[in-house]
Amino acid sequence: MIHPDRLSLTARPLGRLKAYARFMAAAFLVNVKATLEYRVNFILQFFGMMLNNAAFAAFWKVLLNRVGTVGGYGFSDVMLVWALVSSSFGLAHIVFGNVRQLGRIIMEGSLDVYLLQPKDVWLNVLASKTIVSAWGDFAYGYIVLAMMTGTELERLALFTALIIPGALIFAATFAAADSLAFFIGNATAVSSALTEFMLSFSLYPEGVYGAGLRWMLYSIVPSGFVAFLPLRVFRALDWRLVPVLYLIAGVYVMLSYRLFNFGLKRYESGNRMDARV
């Protein structure tokens, strides 16, 4: 019998960290292979995402040609915010593709298959799937970046450094909403509302929201940390704030992880015969 502490992310930090890095890399590679298996589907999804984003870009172009700025954002700001959010959101769903299914898995009592494996349950569930269309979102950000600011290496590096905490915050927030399924059963409504809120609020200029809403955008719906703050950092090419964003992402991940494990104690198996293939 393996003692649960040995499997925890926090016990023997360095050795475990290495092992988990290997595990994440392996999960990622399997997911990439799975994606490439369905090429037509992949291309279609990719195309669909691009088209959707292009439609909104057209909307902003038309509007901003008329008025110059909205809420302090010009066209390039709006595009960069879309790029940051799109790539962060995409990365979150490429690496942690099961994050939107977590609530259903808990509700149906299908966690057993993950409980039996010698890896942290939370990480294992989240990383065991990838979402095909997320690659389109991920790539879109870089395409916009190349179009708006060119392919200057420092900007590319800063952009990449900013979307990683963004992806972690997206995944942690969605996972937290889905973890509510441990306590309230069906958390679908809460989690889809949160997804809608987070995406919708992130994609429009921060300045259009009143002060009453701002506190929410830097707490339970953290659009501020995946969109508005990264945009300011990117604009100013200010690397000093990047570690702060990683720290904030760490806090969100830790809270989400704690919430899941707190809920896990209440988990009841559905006695389903599941197999991971």
Partner 1 sequence: MSERIAYPGNFAGSMFTYALFVFIFSRVWAGAYAGTTEIAGYTMSMAVWYFIIAEIPSFGFGRFFWTLSRDMKSGQVAYLLARPYDFIWYNFAEKLGGSLIEAGIILVEGLAVGFALIGLPPAIASQYPVGFASFALETARLGFLIVSLLLAGALNYFLQMAIAMTAFWLEENEAFYWIFQKFALVVGTLIPIEFLPEKAARIAVWTPFPYLSYAPARIAVAFSLAEAWSLVARQALWVVLALALAKVVFASGSRRLSVNGG
> Dihedral of CA 68/70/73/77: which sign?
negative
Q: Which stretch binds partner 1 (CB under 8 A): 20-28, 51-59, 175-183, 244-252?
A: 51-59
Backbone angles phi, psi at 249, to 5 degrees: -60, -40
Site membership for partner 1, residue 47 (CB under 8 A) = yes
Query: Are residues 109 and 272 in contact, defined by beta-carbon separation less than 8 angstroms?
Result: yes
| One of 10, 22, 26, 196 touching partner 1 (CB under 8 A) | 196
Q: Which stretch binds partner 1 (CB under 8 A): 154-162, 207-215, 237-245, 262-270?
A: 207-215
C-alpha neighbours within 13 Å on the C-beta side of residue 272: 15
Q: In the numeric block, which tokens belong to residue 131?
A: 């979402």
Site membership for partner 1, residue 200 (CB under 8 A) = yes
Site membership for partner 1, residue 54 (CB under 8 A) = yes
Site membership for partner 1, residue 138 (CB under 8 A) = no
Least separation, in Å, of the C-beta of 104 and partner 1? 15
- DSSP state, 270? -
| One of 197, 218, 246, 267 touching partner 1 (CB under 8 A) | 197
Q: Which stretch binds partner 1 (CB under 8 A): 24-32, 94-102, 133-141, 208-216?
A: 208-216
Site membership for partner 1, residue 237 (CB under 8 A) = no
Q: In the numeric block, which tokens belong to residue 251?
A: 């806090």
Site membership for partner 1, residue 184 (CB under 8 A) = no
Q: Which stretch binds partner 1 (CB under 8 A): 27-35, 80-88, 173-181, 197-205?
A: 197-205
Give the interface size with partner 1 as a residue count (CB under 8 A). Answer: 32
Site membership for partner 1, residue 251 (CB under 8 A) = no
Site membership for partner 1, residue 67 (CB under 8 A) = yes
Site residues for partner 1 per CB under 8 A: 40-41, 44, 47-48, 51-52, 54-56, 58-59, 62-63, 65-67, 70-71, 189, 192-193, 196-197, 200-201, 204-205, 207-210
